[in-house]
Structure 1
Amino acid sequence: MNIVFSLDQIKEVAEQILAQNPKKIILFNGEMGVGKTTLIKQLCKSLGVQDATSSPTFSLVNEYYTSNNQIVYHFDFYRLNKETEALDMGVDDYLYSGNWCFIEWSEKIASLLPEETSIINIELLADGKRSLELI
C-alpha cells in the first residue's frame, strides 16, 4: 500500500492501514518529526483505545487497552543505547505476546525482531504532505 496524505486525513489513513490486515508487529520508519507517533496515536484510537496516548520516549513502552480488552504496546527505542537494554526490559515477552506492537526506531533492536512484521515507511514531502508505504 502506498499513499500520500495530509495530517488532517490521518484517521482515514489509519483505517486504511488496518483494513490491509497488517502483522500485529508494525515497525515505523521515518525521520524525527515526520508523524510516526501521530499515526500510532490514531491507530490506537481506530483499534478502540479510549485512554490518552503519548510517546514512550523515556519509558520505552506504553501499554494501552482497547474497548474489547486487546492490548496495544507502543515502543520508542530512540534513546536505547544497546539491544541488551531492550532484553533487560523483557522485549521478547512483548514481541511474542500476540498483541499489537507499534515500534518506533526498530533499527535499534534489529536482531531481536521476529521475522513476521509489517513495516510502515513515512516520508515528509516538500509540500508538507506525507508519503506512506506499508510493506
Structure 2
Amino acid sequence: MKEIEKERKNIEITIKSEEDSAKLGRKIGEKAEPGSVLALIGDLGTGKTTLTKYIAAGMGVSEVITSPTFNIVKEYRSGRIPLYHFDVYRIEDPEEMYEIGYEEYFYGDGLCVVEWADMIEELLPGDAAVIKMEYSDTEGERIYRCIF
C-alpha cells in the first residue's frame, strides 16, 4: 500500500501587533499534536519567544515561558501535552544536539518548538512545520511565512 504524503500549506501572515501573535500562537497551541516539531526561524526581535509563549497558552501550559538560551531546552508539562522549548542559538555544531537526546524530544509525546531552527536544519524531521519570521517594511509589523 502506497503511503500518501500529507499536502503542506504555505501561508503568509502579517503580524501587526502582539495580539496578532497571541491569536496565531494560541491557535497553533490548541491544534498541537504529540510528536510535532515547529521550527522558528528569524532574526533577534522577530517574535520567536513571544510566539512560543502564546503557543504554550493555547496548550494550557501554566508555567512562565522564558527563552532556554543557556539550557538549550526547557520542558513544560502542565499543558494537555508536553511542550519542549528549544533555543539552539548557542549550538556551535549540530552534533551537540545528540548530547541532549534531541531525538527523544522530536519524536516523543509533545510539541517541540525550536528557536533558531535553521542552525540545525539537517536534524529537523521532514514534516516539521516552519515559520520564517521577518521584519516588514512597515514599522512594528512582522511577516511570518509559514509551512504547515
Q: How far apart, in 2, do the equivalents of 1:53 and 1:15 lie?
A: 14
1:116 matched to 2:127? The reply is: yes
Identity of aligned residues (%): 31
Normalising by structure 2, report the TM-score.
Answer: 0.81
Q: How far apart, in 2, do the equivalents of 1:8 and 1:114 lie?
A: 30
Q: Deviation per CA, 1:55-79, whole angstroms, max 9, x where unpaired?
A: 00000001002343x1100000000
Structure 2: state its 5+ residue gaps: 1-10
1:113 shift after superposition: 1.6
Q: Assess, with a 3 A threshold, how the Cα gap between structure 1 residues 53 and 18 changes in structure 2: closer, same or farther.
A: closer
1:18 shift after superposition: 4.8
Letter in 2 for 1:75: F
Q: Deviation per CA, 1:110-134, whole angstroms, max 9, x where unpaired?
A: 2222111100111122321111122
Aligned positions of 1:53-68 closer than 5 A:
53-68=65-80
1:35 matched to 2:47? The reply is: yes
Asked whether the equivalents of residues 2 and 133 of structure 1 are also in contact (C-alpha less than 8 Å), the reply is yes
Q: Match of 2:13? A: 3
Candidates 96, 110, 129, aligned match of 1:85: 96
1:85 shift after superposition: 1.0
Q: How far apart, in 2, do the equivalents of 1:98 and 1:21 lie?
A: 11
Letter in 1 for 2:12: N
1:98 shift after superposition: 3.6
Q: How many residues align?
A: 134
Q: Assess, with a 3 A threshold, how the Cα gap between structure 1 residues 103 and 57 changes in structure 2: closer, same or farther.
A: same
Letter in 1 for 2:114: I
1:48 matched to 2:60? The reply is: yes
Asked whether the equivalents of residues 123 and 131 of structure 1 are also in contact (C-alpha less than 8 Å), the reply is yes
1:21 shift after superposition: 6.3
SS in 1 for 2:97: helix
Structure 1: state its 5+ residue gaps: none
1:16 shift after superposition: 4.0
